[in-house]
Every structure is written in structure tokens, then in C-alpha cells.
Copies of this chain bind each other. A is one copy, B any other.
């Protein structure tokens, strides 16, 4: 039961928060904008106000339940925190997102922060490119899976 997850995170188990958390857990897409969560819940008949979606996602972020990303779009993208930290490689053609972890890069980042005298609090690495599928389909943007520019 998700209520426990919320309680543990220091949040009251309200209906909107439960709906949002449940949705994030069950969605096939791991990376979603507030708007996308809103629309998906709407379709599922679990409507939650958009303002609440934004508030709750921000609270989840503070509580460590989700991570907020800033891909080169213009809006925030959220992801449920499951296992470990990871970085992203994003298709500029269709919006597909793949994940990866590279210990060497992680380690270098720490060293760089140290060298510069910074106390590192966070870091974000985004690789942009054309995914395998889109490389085949040379023409304009192909299958608009995920969140493609083509919306």
C-alpha cells in the first residue's frame, strides 16, 4: 500500500497524492511532465487538478520520491526514484530517453568539483542524439513515441 510510502516520506496520505504515486509506479513511461501526468490521470478517470500535480510532484521531489529533470525542452520532467542515480541520453528526433550509469564519469565529476573547491550537491549529464530507430528512418521525425517535438 502506497500510503505507507507517503507516511514514511512525511506526507499525509491524501487521495491526490496516492493517485499520482500509484500512476508513476504503474506507468510504462518513466519520464513524464506534469502535464502528461495530468492528462493520463484525467483519461483514467482519476482527475487531479493541475496545480496539485505540480505541488505534489515538487513535494515528492523534496521528499526524495522523485527526481526532476531539465531536458533541453522548456519544462520539467519527473521520474520515480527506484534504484540508483543514473544519467540520460535523449533522442532529439522522437523524444526517446535511455538511461546509463558510468562510474568513471561519476568519479571524474567529484574530482572536478573538488579541484574547483566546490561542495557538490548535484549534477546532471544529458547526451543528445538520434536514437537507433530514428537513424534508420532518415526522413523527418518518425514514430512519435514518448514526448517528441512533433506534438
Contacts and interface: CB of A to CB of B under 8 A. Distances in A.
Contacts of A135: 117, 119
A13 interface: no
B92 A102 contact: no
Nearest to A135: B119
A89 B119 CA distance: 11
Given A72-B70, A89-B113, A123-B125, A118 B131 contact: yes
A127 B123 contact: yes
Contacts of A72: 70, 122, 124
A104 B109 CA distance: 10
A122 to B, nearest CB: 4
